[in-house]
Amino acid sequence: MLSLGVSLSPTLTERRLMSSMCSVSTMVALVSLPVSKRKPRSLGLNASASPSTEPTTPYIDVDVVSTSKKVLVPIGYGTEEIEAVVLVDVLRRAGAEVTLASVEQKLEVEGSSGTKLLADVLISKCAEQVFDLVALPGGMPGAVRLRDCVTLEKIMKRQAEDKRLYGAISMAPAITLLPWGLLTRKKTTGHPAFFGKLPTFWAVKTNIQISGELTTSRGPGTSFQFALSLANQLFGETTAKTVEEVLLLRDGYQNPKTEEFNSVDWSLNRTPRVRQHVLMPVANGSEEVEVVTIADVLRRAKVDVTVASVERSLRITASQGTKIVTDKLIGEAAESSYDLILLPNVYRSLNISRSYSKNNKKLGEYMELLTLHQLSCINTVYSGRREQLCTFQRQTGVQMTE
């Protein structure tokens, strides 16, 4: 077994480098691991020439010194998976111990767009616990499932009475909190489709609304703003801004990248299908937010998405501890043809492409070409980090061109 490794200094440029080259999507099942069980990592990069059976140790991209905060994110059948996963990911990066709890009779919960989430515990296990924050994702019928959970209702009412933070996004303010009486004299926002159900004189059309201990937001597109606002309230502005920078949110909103580096012409020797098919290979360490978000968007666009594991099992551990159960192993996925292949992580993609080569020569060659193209893009854009990139080249044997 050949092991490849790179160690880069933990600068902001390196963090942006790691985050900016990720492109993914997938149908998944996931579970959150408490932050207290995870050790912060130095921003070392590791790739293995063969798939591993053991999940990687989840890592945090932000080095934060703060008091641990306990957060509860409940989910039910039909929960909006983007909202749930973004909450878990962002708050964990900020340093919170996040519990994903199912209000159903089982841990596995299917989200509104078909993503399967595997919760940490059933909500009954959280009944007597004290949380610094309880945040409700929306989605339909997810918001209704949360509303009908008696245990969750008791937890939320106690949270409000004790003046501890609570929040809701999308349909959850109108469908879940309003019937519980938790919006009284609170300025509130929510999903436009349910805005009319909010109290007339207290409803506001803003992306984020903070009213005392309550924070509300509008929908999937404002999920990061919602999560960062909660991180700010829990850990302070500095931590929230650091997480925002690591996730490249400010760059993404204000400086959209339209220039293409080292362009490659992809020729098609057949007529494109009416319904497009996309393959997303994932490995231990893939970014769960990217996986879930892109999968959700593509599926809403009626694209058939296949998520394939390059490990020896369907289950992988994503970068923030999320457990993802993929659709297929890469060997089975290689038997089909695809209109598009998306790589989840540039540093893991070398491992991914070599795994493909073992299962399917044609697919492996295609993936290797994509990998080299991504690496050459990094070489062009981040020319100032020549020494680190040369180290990566020496240890991987990949030739990166200008």
CA distance 117 to 297: 17
The answer to whether 111 and 85 are in contact (CB under 8 A) is: no
The pTM for the full model equals 0.71
What is the bridge-based pairing of β-strands 3-7 and 121-122?
unpaired
- More confident of the two residues 352 and 325: 325
pLDDT > 90? residue 369: no
Spell out a b/e string for 3-25, using b for 16 or more CB atoms within 10 Å of the CB, else e.
Answer: ebebebeeeeebbbbbbbbbbbb
pLDDT > 60? residue 383: no
- Identify the top-confidence range among 103-117, 218-232, 361-375: 218-232
pLDDT > 70? residue 178: yes
The amino acid at residue 186 is: K
- More confident of the two residues 273 and 149: 149
Domains defined along the chain, listed by start: 29-36+67-252 (3.40.50.880), 277-396 (3.40.50.880)
204-224 average pLDDT score: 96
- More confident of the two residues 79 and 382: 79
Q: Which residues pair with 75 in a beta bridge?
A: 102
78-96 average pLDDT score: 95
pLDDT > 70? residue 282: yes
18-27, 63-72, 83-92, 222-231: segment of lowest average pLDDT = 18-27
- More confident of the two residues 90 and 9: 90
The amino acid at residue 189 is: T
Q: CB neighbours of 54 closer than 8 A, spacing ≥ 6? A: none
pLDDT > 60? residue 242: yes
- More confident of the two residues 253 and 25: 253
Q: Quote the tokens at residue 240.
A: 């929230």
Q: CB neighbours of 390 closer than 8 A, spacing ≥ 6? A: none
97-111, 130-144, 311-325: segment of lowest average pLDDT = 311-325
CA distance 152 to 167: 13
